[in-house]
């Protein structure tokens, strides 16, 4: 088992909770030194906010609770590769490591649900390095998407 599996599974569980709450299947957790500090899920429908992606919701909470120096040592785990908006929000919050489960390319096999711009491409243009790891446990995260996006 990878060192990241436990936290990726928590992000996937948050994506399942998002669906249960009436939203798209995306979830994220913030971890420091092996401890989950924050959890967030997508709430674009229930929050009536198209920017209510799991990652942006998480970084809003993180930015309010912790300073940038603290966040630089945290890892953001997410059920799906961050979109360009979320990647930028992660960068501006000061988080410098992201681990994702389902890749944007794999998600796109279901349908046209996002951008043709990966988080690696966004982070490659950042003025400070951001480590991006993934996909990790992609099939587990993809199963949640398949149930959601292909349901009748």
Decide if 40 contacts 65 (C-beta within 8 A): no
pLDDT in tens, 17-33: 999 999 999 999 999 99
Question: What letter would DSSP give residue 119?
Answer: H
User: Is a pLDDT exceeding 70 seen at residue 113?
Assistant: no
CA distance 79 to 14: 8
H/E stretch holding 148 reads: helix 138-149
Q: What percent of the chain has pLDDT over 70?
A: 97
Beta bridge partners of 28: 40, 78
pLDDT tens-digit profile of 58-112? 999 999 999 999 999 999 999 999 999 999 999 999 999 999 999 999 998 887 7
Mean pLDDT along residues 122-135 = 95
| Closest of 78, 135, 89, 76 to residue 109, by C-alpha | 135
Q: Which helix H or strand E contains 33, and what residues bound it?
A: none
Phi, psi of 77 (to 5 degrees): -100, 135
Q: Clarify whether 3 is annotated catalytic.
A: no
Find the catalytic residue in 10, 41, 55, 81: 55
């Amino acid at each position: 088992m990878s060192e990241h599996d436990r936290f990726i599974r928590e992000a996937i569980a948050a994506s399942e909770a998002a669906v249960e709450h009436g939203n798209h299947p995306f979830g994220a957790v913030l971890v420091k030194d092996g401890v989950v500090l924050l959890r967030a899920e997508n709430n674009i429908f229930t929050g009536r906010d198209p920017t209510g992606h799991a990652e942006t919701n998480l970084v809003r909470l993180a930015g309010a609770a912790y300073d940038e120096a603290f966040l630089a040592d945290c890892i953001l785990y997410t059920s799906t590769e961050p979109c360009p908006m979320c990647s930028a929000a992660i960068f501006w919050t000061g988080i410098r490591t992201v681990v994702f489960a389902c890749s944007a390319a794999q998600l796109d096999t279901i349908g046209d649900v996002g951008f043709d711009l990966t988080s690696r491409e966004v982070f490659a243009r950042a003025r400070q390095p951001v480590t991006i790891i993934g996909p990790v446990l992609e099939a587990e995260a993809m199963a949640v998407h398949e149930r959601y996006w292909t349901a009748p």
